[in-house]
Structure 1
Amino acid sequence: MSEQNQESPAKKAKGVPFHIGLMARLRAYFFAGILVTAPVSITFYLAWQFIKFMDNQVSPLVPPEINPQYWGFPGFGLIAVIVGLTLIGMLTAGFVGRFLVRVYDIFLQRMPVLSGIYSAVKQIFETMLAQKANAFREVALIEYPRKGMWTMAFITGRTSGEIGTMFAEDMVNVFVPTTPNPTSGFLLFLPRSEVRVLDMNVEEGLKMVISTGILVPPNRKNADQPELSLT
């Protein structure tokens, strides 16, 4: 009995490290599988839901006899929307199309409630799609909310209009997003000398904001430039 009692703790002690190492390895493999499959699965799921949403919106407008969705062809709604928007863009490029756009533009701008919404949405889409403001793509660092504390911001343009006339120095419009939701934030007006522009693009900056600093883009300045030797 005494020998069995003396050997059993030794056997257990020898088996514990193997057991712990195996469980830790399986746990690491499990989380690695989630890390690999989750982004792909969520991306395809959202894309499929968007395609189904477009099909459900367009299918009631098309007779069943000529609707490819009833033939087992998904994505017809998305294709129809893309083709429709392209045709509308082609029609508005002509003289008649420009005249009609000007007519409903004047009509909407004179509406009491819709004028402000229409003007703001139109200006945002013109800036994003037509790429009229290059400064909109700049990512910068500013000292906020106090000196010595830095935060990431996006330059949206040069301060002009009535606000621009209030300052003697060159000012810029800066949007400070919140983390992890970059759609909300604060609009600040800062001197250009107090804004440090970064080399990263807007997509990399948004990824860093959404990930709360976990995804850090590489330093292109050090990667592109060779190291200087003291000799």
Structure 2
Amino acid sequence: MKKTTLKSVFLTGLLVIVPLAVTLWVLGLIIGTMDQTLLLLPASWQPEKLVGFHLPGVGALLTLAFVFVVGLFTQNFIGQKLVTWWDAIVRHIPIVGPLYTSVKQVSDTLFSSNGNAFRKALLIEYPRRGSYTIGFLTGVPGGDVVNHLQEDCVSVYVPTTPNPTSGFFLMVPKSEVIELDMTVDAALKYIVSMGVVAPAPPLPVTPARHPVEPPL
């Protein structure tokens, strides 16, 4: 085999192994962290004491079950009242209150079933003229900020790559924003892959055919 062929085969193997290895490493890290939470339980309640051997991943399963039970409980009237009561208490705690409120607002926006956090994928010039990046429309500026803007602007979140959970919040003039013909999911995959996984080009618009009238 030629040198170029060996190189291409090796790179192909890396493209297959690296995502799998990273996925398994992240899963192992999460499961290990969840398992550590079981150490807070009394010794007689720990799974290893009950079954006599180590059960990896029990912490992750219990955490998922706990989240599901909390979500199920808070869907009824009593659960919603308790959540409202808990929010009112935490909001009045110094230092913790403002932090909790900020995190809750972000989580409500991102994870709400009727939310619309990332509305559209946009193309903007950032961080300088002639350099473009993908951002997401999150809304429009509000409050006193509007009084100091020179023109009509939109709120844009520009995620970093390959970790889109961190990024930059920008207020960009509406005239300088290009709306992309791609879904938010496709744009996120494009960003996370650092441009390697390019979205499919939009399908060409076929002009409507008018029925041919029969000759008179």
TM bucket normalised to smaller? 0.7 to 0.9
Aligned-pair CA distance for 1:168: 8.5
Aligned-pair CA distance for 1:206: 3.0
1:195 maps to 177
Aligned-pair CA distance for 1:145: 4.4
Q: Is the 8 A contact 2:121 2:184 kept in 1?
A: yes
> Residues 149 and 39 (structure 1 numbering): CA distance in 2 closer, same or farther, change over 3 Å?
closer
Aligned-pair CA distance for 1:78: 1.4
Q: Is the 8 A contact 2:110 2:117 kept in 1?
A: no
2:18 maps to 38
* CA distance in 1: counterparts of 2:126 and 2:26, whole angstroms: 36
* CA distance in 2: counterparts of 1:62 and 1:192, whole angstroms: 58
User: Is the partner of 2:197 in helix, strand or coil?
Assistant: coil
> Residues 228 and 31 (structure 1 numbering): CA distance in 2 closer, same or farther, change over 3 Å?
farther
Aligned-pair CA distance for 1:146: 4.9
CA RMSD of aligned residues (A): 3.1
Q: Is the 8 A contact 2:154 2:174 kept in 1?
A: yes
% same residue: 35
TM-score by length of 2: 0.77
Note if 1:26 corresponds to 2:9.
no
Tell me, which stretches of 5 or more residues in structure 1 are unaligned? Answer: 1-20
* CA distance in 1: counterparts of 2:12 and 2:128, whole angstroms: 40
Note if 1:156 corresponds to 2:138.
yes
* CA distance in 2: counterparts of 1:184 and 1:89, whole angstroms: 26
* CA distance in 2: counterparts of 1:170 and 1:119, whole angstroms: 29
More helix per residue: 1
How many correspondences in the alignment?
Answer: 207
User: Is the partner of 1:175 in helix, strand or coil?
Assistant: strand
Q: Is the 8 A contact 1:178 1:184 kept in 2?
A: yes
1:85 maps to 67
> Residues 97 and 120 (structure 1 numbering): CA distance in 2 closer, same or farther, change over 3 Å?
same
Tell me, which stretches of 5 or more residues in structure 2 are unaligned? Answer: 210-216
Aligned-pair CA distance for 1:144: 3.5
User: Is the partner of 1:137 in helix, strand or coil?
Assistant: coil
Q: Deviations over 1:109-131 (max 9, x none)?
A: 22231222111110111111114
The amino acid across from 1:90 in the alignment is L
- Structure number with greater Rg is 1
User: Is the partner of 2:123 in helix, strand or coil?
Assistant: strand
Q: Is the 8 A contact 1:137 1:201 kept in 2?
A: no
Q: 1:144 aligns with which of 114, 120, 126?
A: 126
